A and B are shown apart, each in its own frame.
Chain A
């Protein structure tokens, strides 16, 4: 079946550090891939998405590239800020949406 596996947290980084949160998927068909973010006390919101192989989604300094050969969609940011502290969810969609377990990121000043 369709599923997403993402890096377990929690992840703690210092401000301006480089961030990678790994995400790999298993899917039949042609999935779209997403990263959603949940800031403290807020609801889930879309961070970025990619709808076909080799597409790169980007937003707020975050990037993720849809890699069909490695079935991956790793989230990266070159320099994190305290305000990036949140839980990040990788997700895929073919017929329905499947989410990973979430990775909690804490950025310390």
Chain B
């Protein structure tokens, strides 16, 4: 598609339930990123994918968070047993490629509109 899309745009869930957030990156972009933006906070990096692999999972806040990407395209972020502190806007971004160990600059990231998650 023309841009990064995310679904749902809004999700309200009860504490303890599992949720799945979806991201469709720009076609041809090999790198995909998940961030969290909490009210009044900056952007918190969660995880990135290069193709289908996720070399850096250090940003995931707990083992309740997991993400996968299949076919080098769509990604799903899953939050199990949601807690109220998980309430935030979850942003997805994609770029043509990701920096390698050579330190090559990462291409511009293009962001989706986000999914606003509210845990009651």
Contact = CB atoms under 8 A, between A and B. Distances in A.
Interface of A: 29-32, 34, 36, 42-46, 49, 51, 89, 91, 93-102
Residue of A31, A97, A100 contacting most chain B CB atoms (<10 Å): A97
B113 A100 contact: no
Main secondary structure, interface of B, reads loop
Contacts of B101: 95
A102 B44 CA distance: 11
Contacts of A100: 42
Contact of A102 (B42, B98, B111): B42
Interface residues of B, number: 23
23 contacts: A30-B103, A44-B91, A44-B93, A44-B111, A45-B111, A46-B110, A51-B105, A93-B99, A94-B103, A95-B99, A95-B103, A96-B33, A96-B48, A96-B98, A96-B99, A97-B45, A97-B93, A97-B106, A97-B109, A99-B42, A99-B45, A100-B42, A102-B42
